[in-house]
Chains A and B, each alone.
Chain A
């Protein structure tokens, strides 16, 4: 059974640029959630995708957007990058959108300069 994978591992971008982060969910999982973890903080919910549709969103501006594909993999896109977007971005998959444990990938470390 393959776990959650994310790419790239690290990324350095300049303020104002756009970035796309990728996530492959664990085998059999149809729900993907994205979290942002700033230094010294716990992960913060960005949004969740279930069967290719957004299924809940946290307190993040519209320049954070996402996609889920038919194979349940997912992308997180961030436009007009700001310095405060520097963080670890975590993807988590779960069996369904209901009451299930979420399993996390290793994350993508984004640095905005």
Chain B
């Protein structure tokens, strides 16, 4: 049962335009969400996170929006650059006994930014 879903395996945008990556989750116990970027032959790199007490978090060109009622979050990249081409993973976590922070990942969306 996939608790975190990224329904678009790939996305292609033009340089300078907005990239919007979407993520849905099913577990209402999730209260912390993260986006990671992964280049080939490298580990995932942390991009941005958001707590469930917020509905928006911004960091430079990256903004994450959270819609708790819809169990949906999105990552906006503005403006998109060719160096943003990578696989983007959405991840979620919820409070666990013992405090361990198990991250549950989606399958990823491959973003291609064309010059």
Interface on A for B, CB 8 Å cutoff?
Answer: 4, 6, 31, 33, 35, 40-45, 48, 50, 55-56, 58, 90, 92, 94, 97-107
Closest to A40 in B: B107
Is B103's beta carbon under 8 Å from chain A? yes
Closest to B104 in A: A45
B66-97 contacts to A (CB < 8 Å): 89, 91, 93, 96
Known: A104-B44, A106-B41. A55 touches B105 (CB 8 A): no
Is B98's beta carbon under 8 Å from chain A? yes
Is the pair B102, A43 in contact by a Cβ cutoff of 8 Å? no
CA distance A56 to B93 in the complex (A): 13
Contact with A along B37-71 (1 / 0, CB 8 A): 00001111110010100000000000000000000
Is B4's beta carbon under 8 Å from chain A? yes
CA distance A33 to B44 in the complex (A): 13
Is the pair B101, A100 in contact by a Cβ cutoff of 8 Å? yes
Chain A contacts for B32, CB-based, 8 A? 99
Is the pair B101, A98 in contact by a Cβ cutoff of 8 Å? yes
Count class of interface residues, chain B:
20 to 34
Closest to A56 in B: B100
CA distance A43 to B107 in the complex (A): 8
30 CB-based A-B contacts, threshold 8 Å: A31-B101, A35-B103, A41-B107, A42-B89, A42-B107, A43-B89, A43-B103, A43-B105, A48-B102, A50-B100, A55-B98, A55-B100, A56-B96, A56-B98, A56-B100, A56-B101, A56-B102, A90-B44, A97-B99, A97-B100, A98-B99, A98-B101, A99-B32, A101-B34, A101-B49, A102-B46, A103-B46, A104-B45, A104-B46, A106-B42
